[in-house]
Amino acid sequence: MRKILTLLFFVPLMAGLSARAQAPGATIDVQHYRFAITLNDADNIIKGQATVTAKFLRTTKQFELDLAGQNNDGKGMLVTALKEQGRPVKFTQDSDKLIINTKSIAGTVHSYVITYRGIPTDGLIISTNLHKRRTFFGDNWATRARNWLPCVDHPADKASVEFLVTAPAHYKVVANGLKIAEKVLPGNKKLTHWSETAKLPTKVMVIGVADFAVANAGNPGGTPVYTYVFPEDKEAGFKSYAVATKILPWFVKRIGPFPYKKLANVQSKTVFGGMENAGAIFYYEKSVYDFKGMESLMAHEIAHQWFGDATSEKNWWHVWLSEGFATYMTNLYLEGTYGADTLKSRLEADRKTIFGFEKRYLAPVVDSAFKGPMINMLNDNAYQKGGWVLHMLRRKIGNEAFWKGVANYYKQYNGGNANTNDLRLIMEKAGGTDLKQFFNQWLRTAGHPQLKITRDYNATDKTVAIHINQLQEKPYQFTLELLVDGKLYKTEVKDAVTTFSVPVASAAPEIKIDPNVNLLASFTE
């Protein structure tokens, strides 16, 4: 996901079992959602019929689904009926929950049909685009699906999903998965049925309904890549979005098979610059004309299909596993496409951003103490610092081991959930080294190394002693690279003060600190 500032920029059986996760204390594990949604042009009222199929994790007389009820302004969802196998089930609603009163036994599976209607307060954005045409776009991150869909609105509960959208016939509909039916209905309406069999978190379940121009940009590796743009922008959009056919196979080659059966890139109305909805990525309206920036934005969102969508965080504290991965995978794609200098320049820019953010909010990347609005978790710690940690991990264990670990991480947790420790264990195995200290200092400790570096020339043996002083309270452990008169030296640093000497040709050798941009630290000489 790329956040918009203001409006614009802001397998093996055991492996599969270990990847499954639920929120602590969860009563149900949703297996499948079937959302039948009716839209119209006369008003913003939606009619819904949701079939929620869930496995009960414990015996209970009552369970809850997330659903925003009607507020004082008359917006929100009102449930009018709830049935199981055609029989009414007792329920109540409050401002944010649908409480279902029914006895269920642990291990059993039940399907509930929920009929509801209302004007979404959020989640499904009903508005007009820049061409004054009416549009409907799902926008669920992080926990906004509940504003129009009865669900378990938490990333740990993943399920397959179907959308059956009835709308005026002039609209085209895009959603997760594959389009399995499109049927003209009486009254100048149309039913479009999309189905996704992969397990998704609700944050990336969406529909997009608009007057679209649609093109097939290509089928790299057998995965169809589609472009959905507003008709007025199709010439620019078909051109700028086509770069997806180059990005997708680059990631497939290194990470593993694409998790979904199609990839649609969609011009949309979203509060984000890009939103990584599974197999149906939404981009901000004017993105079609951003020919320079579109490649990096699209690389970020496509990387999310593996990281965040297919492999999802177990809870929001670990959101860097989505955003840090997407940030660094973008950098790696651009390095592979345009060279190492591109990676260096992006890392330098990200490093400055991280240090600026620390002055406003000093916290670890895995921020379990965070209490603010969910949207504020999309910060420079999750994106840039998370990406930087992956860069240093790659340098620590080596390129081959890093990519092996990335591929294994995706393979084990595809369709499931992971936390930071799960990633550590995978990377330890790939790299053959203990990474506890590395993960703790970079991800669970606030701040960064602040290094003061001085030098002393010894005329007798023609060497220079380089003194590395860590100014922060607790010393970090890391490898520091220095280029001395064109020769690269590496030294291991773990104490408050570290000194090492190198031969030099003069009393004033040229010294460059961290010449390859491999350390997240600030330097003063």
Domain boundaries, the chain: 2-10+27-309, 312-443, 450-524
Superfamily of domain 2-10+27-309: tricorn interacting facor f3 domain (2.60.40.1730)
In Å, what is the CA distance from 321 to each residue of 10, 389, 422?
20, 11, 11
The stretches in the chain having pLDDT less than 70 are: 1-21
Q: Is the peptide bond before 142 cis (omega within 30 degrees of 0)?
A: yes
Strands 134-138, 207-210: pairing is: antiparallel
Superfamily of domain 450-524: Aminopeptidase N, middle-beta domain (2.60.40.1840)
In Å, what is the CA distance from 180 to each residue of 107, 185, 222, 471, 483?
31, 16, 18, 61, 59
Closest CA to 302 of 255, 269, 335: 255
pLDDT at 2: 59
Q: DSSP readout, 170-234?
A: T-EEEESSEEEEEEEETTTEEEEEEEEEEEE-GGG--EEEE--EEEEEE-GGG--EEEEE-GGGH
* CA distance linking residue 29 with residue 230, whole number of Å: 38
* CA distance linking residue 424 with residue 430, whole number of Å: 10
CB atoms within 10 A of CB 513: 17
Instruction: Please tell me whether residue 471 adopts helix, strand or coil conformation.
Output: coil
Class (C level, CATH) for 312-443:
mainly alpha
Structural tokens at position 519: 């350390």
Domains 2-10+27-309 and 450-524 equal at CATH topology level: yes
pLDDT at 374: 85
pLDDT at 20: 56
CB atoms within 10 A of CB 352: 12
pLDDT at 525: 87
User: b/e for 445-459, b at 16 or more Cβ within 10 A?
Assistant: beebbbbebebeeee
List Cβ neighbours of 274 (8 Å cut-off, separation of 6 or more). Answer: 1, 2, 281, 282, 283, 284, 287, 297, 298, 300, 301
Strands 178-185, 134-138: pairing is: unpaired
Mean pLDDT of the chain: 95
Amino acid identity of residue 66, one-letter, is D
Torsional sign, CA 134, 139, 145, 146: negative
Instruction: Please tell me whether residue 336 adopts helix, strand or coil conformation.
Output: helix
φ/ψ of 267, rounded to 5, equals: -70, 130
CB atoms within 10 A of CB 93: 17
pTM for the whole structure: 0.94
* CA distance linking residue 174 with residue 346, whole number of Å: 34
